[in-house]
Amino acid sequence: MTPYDKLHKHFARLNDLYHVGAIAQWDEAAMMPTGGGDARGQALATLDGITHQMLTDPQLGEWLAAAETATLAPWQAANLREMHRSYRDATCVPESLVERRALANSRCEQAWRVHRAENNWQAMAPLLEEVVALAREEAAARSAVNGMSLYGSLVDSYEPGMTCAQLDPLFAELKAFLPGLLDAVIEKQARHPAVLPEGPFPIEEQRALGLEMMRTLGFDFEHGRLDVSHHPFCGGVPSDVRITTRYETEGFTQALMGVIHETGHALYEQGLPAQWRSQPVGQALSTAMHESQSLLMEMQACRSREFLHFLTPHLQRCFSTASAGSTTWQEDNLYRLFTRVNRGYIRVYADEVSYPLHVILRYEIERELIEGTLDVAGIPDAWDTRMQAYLGLSTAGNYRDGCLQDVHWPAGLFGYFPTYTLGAMSAAQLFAAARRSLPELPAQLAEGNFCALLGWLREQVHSQGKFLDYNALMQQATGSPLQSSWFRAHLEARYLEGG
């Protein structure tokens, strides 16, 4: 057996353990009784420790060095490159830190589910202080190896190669035009406000609609399912994708678009190259590319006028409170409903115009946290200051809708937030390229036909795995590297030029 063959077998075994961990994490969020938290946290910490041991085995380093001299096929060479990256990222973080972080993150995340509902920042702060302290330790360990800044080293773990030097100008471009665009759109929409459909909207009806739209988009129910959790997410593995949403009977738009969003993630997972799924090169390219797939479906395709033409009769039939003869349930009003722009507190409920400002707020705060210029105790004030500056809202004393609204920091996910907006920009650029390649795409969306769009994404993005790096994939699929101009053009066309 060659060194490369040994590596292939080793990473396939690792993938089996990741599979078990992914399903256990989904179960913790969607099905596990509250009393199982401590034991599940310990079990996951042990599993993390085992996988870390396997990734840092000195023999792995020997096989990697020996495989460098082998003649490999292109996909094998790309796989070896990603193996090197996995080994480097793992060996720079001590096993004891991996286990301590897993335990602290699990405790903090489980407490967040209780204390957010209570608006109890005082109870959360000590737990979050431990999580931040350990994140700083990890950042220092990674930075010492890859030479990046403390915060940049964490961003790199989600978005390989991305640096703060690249993020800062991209976000500066957004901050330069988004506040003015937000004002203009809100003023325009005030002249023709959407009429809110009256509920209640039973959960059973919402779930049925969500399942129908998942089928429309191309979700494979033989290899996935839909459930409920506190925070919508896509988990599991490509052969068994688990997505979740959350429902409220007063409205239906958030749950529906949450399902569509997570289905975009799931379609990416289900479309990864089957023959390479047990290997690093067969995994999703990056967090931003993953987010681009969910936002392409939710924002670019399913909030378009064309898709709303298809969706309208389905909404009229689905809900017992709907009346096809009412102007409230007509296409024009529903389009206004699904493209409303507001200044709001909650990121996951934000529209695509204001959403990047929510992300930039978090980017700036967590960067200061990791680099030590802000302590956990200062988070609420820093949050309130930026919310007022960027969105004209105050969160003083409102932790539930402020700094406790997201699960990411309690779960130890620092460096993740920037990928949401990188994903939004990528989605706009990819969708524009798809429309150039598929002239009939608007008409197809109006019929609920996603076959051509999904086929294009399968070819250009999903089937590529990690064979190409991010910039190379964007160049190949769209003809240029990532630019903010496509995102801006999309927003202006939909919200200022459109009806």
Please check the confidence at residue 416 and state whether its pLDDT lies above 80. yes
**H or E element that contains 324:** none
Give 273's pLDDT tier (boundaries 50, 70, 90).
very high
Burial class (CB in 10 A: 0-12, 13-18, 19+), 34: exposed
Relative to beta strand 234-237, strand 240-245 is antiparallel
Give 349's pLDDT tier (boundaries 50, 70, 90).
confident
- Lowest mean pLDDT segment, chosen from 175-179, 239-243, 422-426: 175-179
Relative to beta strand 240-245, strand 224-228 is parallel
Give 354-385 pLDDT, tens digit per residue.
999 999 999 999 999 999 999 999 999 999 99
Return d(Cα 354, Cα 179) in angstroms, integer. Answer: 8
Give 435-461 pLDDT, tens digit per residue.
999 999 999 999 999 999 999 999 999
Give 17-62 pLDDT, tens digit per residue.
999 999 999 999 999 998 998 999 899 989 988 998 999 999 999 9
Give 476's pLDDT tier (boundaries 50, 70, 90).
very high
Structural domains present in the chain? 3-152 (no CATH), 153-499 (1.10.1370.30)
99 vs 310, residue with greater confidence: 310
Grouping H, G, I as helix, E, B as strand and the rest as coil, residue 345 is: coil
Give the pair of three-digit tokens for residue 483: 């630019």
Mean pLDDT in residue range 469-498: 93
Please check the confidence at residue 499 and state whether its pLDDT lies above 70. no
The residues that bridge with 235 in the sheet, in sequence order, are: 242
DSSP class of residue 26 equals H
Packing angle of the helix pair 287-295, 470-478 (nearest 10 deg): 30
Share of the chain above pLDDT 90, in %: 90
451 vs 157, residue with greater confidence: 451
Mean pLDDT in residue range 397-421: 96
Give the pair of three-digit tokens for residue 307: 């898709």
Any idea of the CA torsion for 245, 251, 253, 258, to the nearest 10 degrees?
-10
Catalytic residues: 262
Work out the mean pLDDT of the chain and round it to a whole number: 95
Please check the confidence at residue 270 and state whether its pLDDT lies above 60. yes
The predicted model scores a pTM of 0.90
Return d(Cα 98, Cα 95) in angstroms, integer. Answer: 5
CA distances from 307 to 213, 334, 493 (A): 11, 11, 16
- Strands (DSSP E) contained in 249-372 are none
Residue 17 dihedral angles phi and psi, to the nearest 5°:
-70, -40
Question: What is the pLDDT at residue 94?
Answer: 87
Question: What is the pLDDT at residue 230?
Answer: 82
Give 275-288 pLDDT, tens digit per residue.
999 999 999 999 99
DSSP 406-448: -STTTTT--S-THHHHHHHHHHHHHHHHHHHH-TTHHHHHHTT
Mean pLDDT in residue range 62-82: 97
Question: What is the pLDDT at residue 325?
Answer: 83
Give 164-179 pLDDT, tens digit per residue.
998 999 999 999 999 9
Return d(Cα 408, Cα 133) in angstroms, integer. Answer: 15
Give the pair of three-digit tokens for residue 272: 């990864």
